[in-house]
Amino acid sequence: MARVKTTVYIEERLRRAAKQAAARSGVHEYEVFEGALKKYLGWDILDDLWARNANLTEDEAMQLAYDELHAYRAERQADEEAAGGSRG
């Protein structure tokens, strides 16, 4: 994916820590920031899911998405029923 140059303002101690982490890990400083931001946004989970399911066909991916959606809805409904209420 293409990267763009941007300016952000952070505490100096965070910048130093990121620079040290990059040096210890043998990666670029931007990769430390990018990794932290991906984790904060939950994109690390998405990257993992994409990597594990890269060989799915479009139909298989759609079925997996619907299965997960139905499982989530069933879990949410069970939680609501256990709490003694339901949503209309």
- The domains of the chain are located at 1-42, 56-88
Residue 88 pLDDT grade (very low, low, confident, very high; cuts 50, 70, 90): low
> Rg of the chain's alpha carbons, rounded to an integer?
20
Buried b (16+ CB within 10 A) or exposed e, 5-31: eeeeeeeeeeeeebeebbeeeeeeeee
Each residue's pLDDT tens digit, 58-70: 888 788 888 888 9
Each residue's pLDDT tens digit, 25-61: 999 999 999 999 988 988 887 777 777 777 878 888 7
Residue owning tokens 């990121």: 18
- The yes-or-no verdict on residue 23 having pLDDT over 80 is yes
